[in-house]
Amino acid sequence: MNAKSTVDLSWDEFDELRDPRPAENDFDRVVEAAIARRGLLGGVLAFGSGAMAFGLGAMVPAGSARAQAAAFPFQPIDIATDFDIHVPEGYRWKPLVSWGEALFSEAEGAWSPENGVPVAMSDKVFGENTDGMELFVIDGKEVIAVNSEYVNPKINLPAASEGVPQSAEEVTLLKNMQGVTVMEVADSGNGYEVVVDSPFNRRITHETPMTMDGAAAGSDLVRTKADPEGMSPRGTMNNCGAGRTLWGTYLTCEENFNGLFGATGEMPQGEGYGRYGIGGESQYAYEKFDPRFDISSEPNEPHRHGWITEIDPADPSSTPVKHTALGRFKHENAAMVQAADGRIVVYMGDDERGEFIYRYVSNGTWAEGQPTNGLLTDGTLYVGKFNDDQTGEWLALTPETTGMAPAEMLVFARMAGSKVGATTMDRPEWIACHPQRAEAYCSLTNNSNRGIKSNAGGDATPVGGPNPREANEYGQIVRWRPEGEDHGATAFTWDLYVMAGNPAVHSDAYAGSPNINQGNMFNSPDGMAFDTTGLLWIQTDGDDSNEGDFAGQGNNQMLIGNADTGEIARFLTAPNGAEVTGLCWSADRRVAFVGIQHPGGSWPDGEGKPRSSVIAIWREDGATIG
**Residue 428 Cβ vs ligand FEO, minimum distance, rounded to whole Å:** 8
d(CA 410, CA 217): 10
Q: Is the dihedral of CA 521, 524, 525, 527 positive or negative?
A: negative
How many residues in total does the chain contain?
Answer: 626
Query: Which residue's C-beta sits nearest to Ca ion?
Result: 541
Could you tell which of ligand FEO, Ca ion, none binds residue 352, using a CB distance below 5 to 8 A set by kind? none
Q: Does position 255 bind ligand FEO by CB under 6 A?
A: yes
Could you tell which of ligand FEO, Ca ion, none binds residue 473, using a CB distance below 5 to 8 A set by kind? none
Could you tell which of ligand FEO, Ca ion, none binds residue 294, using a CB distance below 5 to 8 A set by kind? none
Of 429 and 459, nearer to Ca ion (C-beta) is: 429
**Residue 176 Cβ vs ligand FEO, minimum distance, rounded to whole Å:** 19
Spatial CB neighbours of 477, under 8 Å, sequence gap ≥ 6? 441, 442, 443, 444, 496, 497, 498, 525, 528, 538
Q: Does position 310 bind ligand FEO by CB under 6 A?
A: no
604 preceded by a cis bond (ω within 30 of 0): yes
Q: Which stretch binds Ca ion (CB under 5 A): 41-49, 421-429, 431-439, 560-568?
A: 421-429
φ, ψ (nearest 5 deg) of residue 484: 65, 20
- Cα-Cα-Cα-Cα dihedral of 393, 398, 400, 405, to 10°? 150
**Interaction mask 424-443, ligand FEO, x per CB under 6 A:** -----x--------------
Of 131 and 170, nearer to ligand FEO (C-beta) is: 131
Q: Does position 567 bind Ca ion by CB under 5 A?
A: no
3-state secondary structure of 69: helix
Total residues interacting with Ca ion, rule: CB under 5 A: 3
Q: Does position 310 bind Ca ion by CB under 5 A?
A: no
Residue type, 613: S
Of 175 and 331, nearer to ligand FEO (C-beta) is: 331
Of 131 and 193, nearer to ligand FEO (C-beta) is: 131
**Interaction mask 108-147, ligand FEO, x per CB under 6 A:** ----------------------------------------
CB distance 470 to 518 below 8 Å: no
CB distance 19 to 263 below 8 Å: no
Of 254 and 287, nearer to ligand FEO (C-beta) is: 254
Could you tell which of ligand FEO, Ca ion, none binds residue 149, using a CB distance below 5 to 8 A set by kind? ligand FEO
User: In whole angstroms, how far apart are CA 63 and each of 67, 68, 516, 517, 521?
Assistant: 7, 10, 11, 7, 10
CB distance 345 to 338 below 8 Å: yes
Q: Does position 193 bind ligand FEO by CB under 6 A?
A: no
d(CA 99, CA 102): 9
CB distance 281 to 295 below 8 Å: no
Q: Does position 254 bind ligand FEO by CB under 6 A?
A: no
Could you tell which of ligand FEO, Ca ion, none binds residue 255, using a CB distance below 5 to 8 A set by kind? ligand FEO
**Interaction mask 335-364, ligand FEO, x per CB under 6 A:** ----------------x-------------
d(CA 253, CA 235): 12
d(CA 421, CA 276): 18
d(CA 479, CA 440): 5
**Residue 331 Cβ vs ligand FEO, minimum distance, rounded to whole Å:** 9
Nearest to 573 by CA among 98, 101, 68, 93: 93
- What is the b/e burial string over 254-273, where b = at least 16 CB atoms within 10 angstroms of the residue's CB? bbbbbbbbbbeeeebeeebb
Q: Does position 526 bind Ca ion by CB under 5 A?
A: yes
Q: Does position 281 bind ligand FEO by CB under 6 A?
A: no
**Residue 256 Cβ vs ligand FEO, minimum distance, rounded to whole Å:** 7
Interface with ligand FEO (CB under 6 A), residue from 240, 325, 496, 616: 240
Bin 314: left if φ > 0, else alpha if -120 < ψ < 50, else beta. alpha
Could you tell which of ligand FEO, Ca ion, none binds residue 350, using a CB distance below 5 to 8 A set by kind? none
**Residue 441 Cβ vs Ca ion, minimum distance, rounded to whole Å:** 14
**Residue 332 Cβ vs ligand FEO, minimum distance, rounded to whole Å:** 5
Of 149 and 290, nearer to ligand FEO (C-beta) is: 149
d(CA 454, CA 398): 24
**Residue 367 Cβ vs Ca ion, minimum distance, rounded to whole Å:** 32
Of 352 and 526, nearer to Ca ion (C-beta) is: 526
Of 408 and 541, nearer to Ca ion (C-beta) is: 541
d(CA 323, CA 315): 18
E strands, 174-249, where?
179-187, 192-194, 202-204, 211-213, 239-244
Of 192 and 358, nearer to ligand FEO (C-beta) is: 358
**Residue 490 Cβ vs ligand FEO, minimum distance, rounded to whole Å:** 27
Q: Does position 541 bind Ca ion by CB under 5 A?
A: yes
Nearest to 256 by CA among 16, 557, 593, 528: 16
Q: Does position 142 bind Ca ion by CB under 5 A?
A: no
Q: Does position 334 bind ligand FEO by CB under 6 A?
A: no
Of 134 and 149, nearer to ligand FEO (C-beta) is: 149
Could you tell which of Ca ion, ligand FEO, none binds residue 567, using a CB distance below 5 to 8 A set by kind? none
E strands, 509-610, where?
525-530, 535-540, 557-562, 568-573, 579-585, 591-597
CB distance 238 to 253 below 8 Å: no
**Residue 593 Cβ vs ligand FEO, minimum distance, rounded to whole Å:** 18
Of 300 and 540, nearer to ligand FEO (C-beta) is: 540
Where on the chain is the footprint of Ca ion (CB under 5 A)?
429, 526, 541
Residues that bind ligand FEO (CB under 6 A): 149, 240, 255, 332, 351, 429
